[in-house]
Amino acid sequence: MDKQKPNGKKILCIEDEHFISELYARALRRAGYDVTTMLSGEDGLRAAESDEYDIILLDLMIPGITGFEVLRRLRQETPNLRAKIIITTNLEQEDESRAEIEKMADGYLIKAEFTPRQLVQIINDIAEDKQPSDSYLE
Amino acid sequence: MWVLATDFLPASILYSVLVTAIITLLIAILFGSIIADYALQATDFLAKAILLVTREENQIEAPDAKLLGASKEFLSELAKSIYELASTSDNLSKHDNSELPFYRFLANSIPLPVIVLNKDRQISFANESALNYIGLPASEVINQAFYDAMNLSFVSSLTLESWLDDCVKNVALKNEIWERVRLNLPNNTRKQFDLAAHYSNNDPNGLETILVLYDRTNIYERDDHDLTFVALAVHELRTPLTIMRGYIEVFEDEIEQELNNEQLAFMYNMSASAQQLTSFVSNILNVSRVEENALLLHLKEEKWQDILIPSCKDMELRARVHNKKLVYDIAENLPAVAVDKVSIYEVLSNLIDNAIKYTHTDEDILIRAYEKDGMVETTVTDKGVGIPESLLGHVFDKFYRAHQNKNSTGGTGLGLYLSRAIIIANGGTIWVDSKEGKGSTFGFSLPLFSSVADQIKSEDNGSIVRGAHGWIKNHSLYRE
């Protein structure tokens, strides 16, 4: 995949697994996105509240306050948040809690089910406000 | 305590029929291929039976402990004597009503659960062991329809009911043995056992089937726990594996042009192997979900070629590194199907992976898709080693592998079992057509979206959620 020109869209990636965030950030930057990575729930929440992002990738299992808590607080305290929030996780949620998360989030991705290249396609679709064409979004 | 439906025949006849049938069945088991572990339990019964049948008085002693430690030679001799006894039915029929307690004791002293069904598949008789095993009072067992009293699940597509249906149509006399049958009890508990059945349609008293249960709960539960443990362990592989695939992808995207042909081949091998490992991991995880009935599918309207072609493209790399090519024959304008795309990807991955694994030449693998009988059918055809006819009926069983040569092929024996569970949950069927030495075709069907559209649209999120019953229940298979 060739390197794309900056497209002006900003992504916040809240992910504590360094290799994963490196891979996501690298693939997304090559696709033209401006990517910021955060390692913990607190830092992620603070960054998200600045409301300068178009898309937030949020891991559920992160140190400090959990991804679920970050999601809940954002929805509660910043109801007009511009960013679309996409959950990324390796956890298989029980169907009920997953349904609860899906209600609050704009997408739900299981990390093992997509590669960085596929992530770029999914994010492109979301950024363009299209129904994701080949994604695992519910 | 003993229980008997006596309203239609004299008890002594029932018991003597029962004794003959049990003995015949046990002979069949002994002479048949049943696992040696049963020999001891069978000896226990045979010894008691011999003592009982040959004695004049009703005074019954417990079988001699020495007999239980009997050698194989002794067992065959014992079986032979009993067979002779049982086949000269005079020996049994000469007993009259005065000997009823004798037979009653015999039936109830058998340490194995024994159940007799009549032609209507109602329980005519259940001995004490059986009642204890099922955990129900006699009143809820005797004269009840078998499947109401016992909620059974079978691991293979041959269930007791389908076997009986087949017997009724085709044969007069038949024995069959199932392993890993589950008895589903209230409170989410279950027992697991091996089941021996003897069918005979020429019994004048209307008794048709005799069932003997060998409890194996401890052993089979241990297997299940092992699988759960493996699933937990395998779960930990997901993150590093995802990361490895990610970095391999970076190489593919960024340094492909700089590599020589050999290095390129290495990179593809690495990528294909990582992909294969990923499939393996998700197979294990999904089988454990099927077992726990926790694999949920979301059926949605999809254009089949939009799922089939990208899925196959993913598999092309795996084919290529093994010097094989995937070729396609996909009908134009296929109607939309209702399918869960994450799980169907696994089915395609398993079928194509098998085709690659079991083709040791560079023959192409053909993928076809077409509409037939209101379903969309997809087939994967290889010209590989094929499957011996005798084994064809078992390919979708758990832990089944046709080719045990581990040097040339890897695999868990879970792929087809899982594929079958997924296809059934998707509302389709799966089949195999194979000839040893010529190759195999695996195919599956999927329902058209139009056939379930109303149901899908009435759901909140525009999809149907279905569970995959890995264990095929008599109930769900025949009554839904």
What is the arrangement of strands in the sheet containing A55-59, beginning at the earlier edge strand?
A: A34-38, A10-14, A55-59, A84-89, A107-110
Highest averaged pLDDT of the listed ranges B34-38, B59-63, B225-229, B301-305: B301-305
Examine domains B11-215 and B294-479 and report if their fold is the same: no
pLDDT at B423: 92
Identify the band that residue B127 occupies on the pLDDT scale cut at 50, 70 and 90. Answer: confident
Q: What is the CATH number of domain B294-479?
A: 3.30.565.10
Q: Any idea how long chain A is?
A: 138
The rounded distance, in Å, linking the Cα atoms of B186 and B195 is: 21
Q: Which CATH superfamily is domain A10-127 in?
A: Response regulator (3.40.50.2300)
Highest averaged pLDDT of the listed ranges A81-95, B3-17, B71-85, B454-468: A81-95
pLDDT at B354: 92
pLDDT at A107: 87
Q: Looking at residues B75-95, what average pLDDT do you find?
A: 45
A116/B238 CB distance under 8 A: no
Kindly tell me the burial class for residue B42, based on how many C-beta atoms sit within 10 Å of its own C-beta (0-12, 13-18, 19 or more): buried
Residue of A nearest to B286 (CA): A92
What beta strand segments (E) does B75-232 contain?
A: 114-118, 123-126, 152-154, 173-184, 190-200, 207-215
Kindly tell me the burial class for residue B107, based on how many C-beta atoms sit within 10 Å of its own C-beta (0-12, 13-18, 19 or more): buried
Q: Does A50 touch chain B (CB under 8 A)?
A: no
Task: Classify each residue of B373-399 as buried b or exposed e, where b means 16 or more C-beta atoms within 10 Å of its C-beta.
Answer: eebbbbbbbbbbbbbeeeebebbbbbe
Among B238, B243, B282, the residue with its CB nearest the CB of A23 is: B243
The rounded distance, in Å, linking the Cα atoms of A83 and B273 is: 37
**Cβ B190 vs Cβ B155: under 8 Å:** no
pLDDT at B332: 92
Chain B residues with CB under 8 Å of a chain A CB are 238-239, 241-243, 245-247, 249-250, 253, 278, 281-282, 296, 298, 306, 310, 342, 461
Return the domain boundaries, chain B.
Answer: 11-215, 294-479
Q: What is the CATH number of domain B11-215?
A: 3.30.450.20
The rounded distance, in Å, linking the Cα atoms of A25 and A12 is: 9
**Partner residues linked to A36 by β-bridges:** A12
Nearest one of A71, A14, A76, A81 to A49, comparing CA atoms: A81
Cβ neighbour number for residue B220 with a 10 Å cutoff = 20
3-state SS, residue B398: coil
Tell me what ipTM this predicted complex has: 0.85
**How many whole angstroms from its chain centre is CA B310?**
32
Reported as a single tens digit per residue, the pLDDT across B2-51 is 444 434 445 555 666 666 666 666 655 544 434 333 433 444 455 455 44
- Show the tokens assigned to B87: 């086949």
- Show the tokens assigned to B40: 């001891």
**Cβ B385 vs Cβ B359: under 8 Å:** yes
Highest averaged pLDDT of the listed ranges A110-119, B266-275, B366-375: B366-375
What is the arrangement of strands in the sheet containing B152-154, beginning at the earlier edge strand?
A: B123-126, B114-118, B207-215, B190-200, B173-184, B152-154, B472-473
Q: Does A131 touch chain B (CB under 8 A)?
A: no
The rounded distance, in Å, linking the Cα atoms of B169 and B195 is: 21
Return the domain boundaries, chain A.
Answer: 10-127
pLDDT at B408: 45
The rounded distance, in Å, linking the Cα atoms of B67 and B71 is: 9
pLDDT at B465: 59
CA distance, residue A79 to nearest chain B CA (Å): 23
B238/A1 CB distance under 8 A: no
The full DSSP string for B232-276 is HHHHTTHHHHHHHHHHHHHHHHHTGGGS-HHHHHHHHHHHHHHHH
**Partner residues linked to B435 by β-bridges:** B439
Nearest one of B210, B18, B197, B208 to B103, comparing CA atoms: B18
Q: Does B461 have pLDDT greater than 60?
A: no
Residue of A nearest to B465 (CA): A95
Reported as a single tens digit per residue, the pLDDT across B378-428 is 999 999 999 888 888 888 877 665 555 444 445 567 889 889 988 988 889
Report phi then psi at B58, rounded to 5.
-85, -5
pLDDT at B101: 60
The rounded distance, in Å, linking the Cα atoms of B40 and B43 is: 5
The full DSSP string for A48-97 is HHT---SEEEEESS-SSS-HHHHHHHHHHH-TT--SEEEEEESS---HHH
Residue of B nearest to A136 (CA): B342
Least confident interval from B29-33, B302-306, B462-466: B29-33
The rounded distance, in Å, linking the Cα atoms of B395 and B415 is: 10
**Residues 106-125 (A) with a CB less than 8 A from some CB of B:** 111-113, 115-117
pLDDT at B456: 67
Disruptive mutation site among A21, A59, A113 for chain B (greatest number of B CBs within 10 Å): A113
The rounded distance, in Å, linking the Cα atoms of B331 and B311 is: 17
Reported as a single tens digit per residue, the pLDDT across A53-66 is 999 999 988 888 88
Q: Looking at residues B169-193, what average pLDDT do you find?
A: 83
Give me chain B's average pLDDT, please.
Answer: 75
Place of tokens 């590093």: B240
Kindly tell me the burial class for residue B360, based on how many C-beta atoms sit within 10 Å of its own C-beta (0-12, 13-18, 19 or more): exposed
Cβ neighbour number for residue B2 with a 10 Å cutoff = 17
